[in-house]
Structure 1
Amino acid sequence: MHGPAASGWLLVALCAATGAYCLLRMRSSVEEQRRTAGGEALMGFGMAAMAVPAAAFTPPSWAWPVYAVLFGTAGLHALWAARAGTRHLHHSLGAGAMVYMAVVMTLSPGAGQGHTHGGSGIPLLTGVLLLYFTGYVLVTGVRLVPVAAVAGDPAPGAGEASGWGDRPELARACRLSMGIAMVAMLLTM
């Protein structure tokens, strides 16, 4: 997962900031938003840890299987929650992509040194994941574009929870940044 150091540190900063914001979103008064924010915080911090440049820190060889088990468990939890709403399917797919990357890191030459080499994953699976997350990023980005309000319409968010952690556009921006980070990590596979 490790590329040039500068881009790696930018990816770490993006994912860690997203994870921190998701932790703050867990203070929401809406239970479903808290639960979703917790899974997204785990994903953000996990992606940040996986993106640390190898020159700065070489994880021990046991770290990659631990990541695989951790995100496999998170993926199963999201899949179980998906029976209540399809939004959780995206979370389970994201966790599955993290498991895939951790397994590739475990099995790749130089895994103990924290390096992957291009083509070390399954090209078809990597391509499918890239297509999905690229599409997700584009759709989520379009949803963030402001829409002109029609006269007489209530303001967006009127009558909804008004806490800053409950704002849907901030949650979408959080998901967008993690989607972009996922695309960047998959490109290094």
Structure 2
Amino acid sequence: MHGPAQAGWLLVALCAATGSYCLLRMRSRIEEQRRAAGGEALMGFGMALMALPAAVLAPPRWVWLAYAAVFGAAALRALWAARRHRHRHHRHDRHHRHHLHHLVGACAMVYMAVAMAATPGAHAGHGGGGTPALTGALLLYFAGYVLWSGARLLPVPTLAAAEGGGGGGPITGWADRTELAMACRLSMGIAMIAMLLTL
């Protein structure tokens, strides 16, 4: 009985810590970095709340529907940003891919929230009523994303330096550390896999 609860609290701590760092990243001087960090902070805190053990918090059905509405709006925003960025830049641009990843993540949150709303007493990690085929497709996507981002998690210049900001040398402020941002995205990908596995 203690194992699942402890795993749930670890997941909550991981997602909350990731969301907190994303809030710090919103202080970046780079507009694109701030926008991405805002979406990732929402995702991190949303996942932390969703992963709370059912013994601590068992939300009514309307809460899950509100979750679906919030992340549905986040998905529409990510779709709009991806379309706008594709028209302005090359469709394989790094920022365009990142908007598409935000879109998939927000859709996954909507899917999990709807599954929990449809199953009385369901909660993250406690057997929601998801569709096996869709759950499997999302698991494959996030597993691939985790492997890809893990392989890319090597010492890299800060995003500020890559964007040409900051004048002479690279900026190493906490809000602009590209490797930490990548580690946060990797952590959220792993957390998403854990939540989908228990759906």
TM range (shorter): 0.7 to 0.9
Q: Within the alignment, does 1:179 sit opposite 2:189 as a pair?
A: yes
How far apart are the structure 1 equivalents of 2:182 and 2:189? 10
**Conserved? CA contact 2:64–2:116, under 8 Å:** yes
Cα distance, 1:160 vs. partner?
Answer: 4.3
TM-score, structure 2 as length reference: 0.83
Mapping for residues 141-180 of structure 1, pairs under 5 Å: 141-146=150-155, 156-157=157-158, 159-180=169-190
Q: Within the alignment, does 1:47 sit opposite 2:57 as a pair?
A: no
2:89 corresponds in structure 1 to none
Cα distance, 1:126 vs. partner?
Answer: 0.2
Count of residues in Structure 1 that have an aligned counterpart in Structure 2: 177
Instruction: Name structure 1 gaps, 5 residues minimum.
Output: 147-154
Aligned residue among 76, 98, 102 for 2:109? 98
How far apart are the structure 1 equivalents of 2:126 and 2:60? 18
Cα distance, 1:115 vs. partner?
Answer: 6.8
How far apart are the structure 1 equivalents of 2:198 and 2:80? 30
Q: For the structure 1 residues 103 and 162, does the alpha-carbon distance in structure 2 shift closer, same or farther, using more than 3 Å as the test?
A: same
**Conserved? CA contact 2:157–2:178, under 8 Å:** no
Higher relative contact order (CA 8 A, sep 6+): 1
CA-based RMSD of the aligned residues comes to: 1.8
Q: Deviations over 1:25-65 (max 9, x none)?
A: 00000011001000000000000000000011111221100
Letter in 1 for 2:35: R
SS in 1 for 2:137: helix
How far apart are the structure 2 equivalents of 1:169 and 1:135? 19
Mapping for residues 9-158 of structure 1, pairs under 5 Å: 9-83=9-83, 84=85, 85-111=96-122, 114=123, 118=127, 120-146=129-155, 156-157=157-158
Cα distance, 1:20 vs. partner?
Answer: 0.3
The more displaced of 44-53 and 74-83 is 74-83
How far apart are the structure 2 equivalents of 1:45 and 1:107? 22
Q: Deviations over 1:84-123 (max 9, x none)?
A: 1221000010000000000000101324xx4776472110
**Conserved? CA contact 2:153–2:179, under 8 Å:** yes
**Conserved? CA contact 1:64–1:106, under 8 Å:** yes
Q: For the structure 1 residues 142 and 94, does the alpha-carbon distance in structure 2 shift closer, same or farther, using more than 3 Å as the test?
A: same
**Conserved? CA contact 2:12–2:51, under 8 Å:** yes
How far apart are the structure 2 equivalents of 1:118 and 1:94? 20
Cα distance, 1:163 vs. partner?
Answer: 2.2
How far apart are the structure 1 equivalents of 2:72 and 2:19? 18
How far apart are the structure 2 equivalents of 1:51 and 1:187? 12
Higher helix share: 2
Identical residues among aligned pairs (%): 70
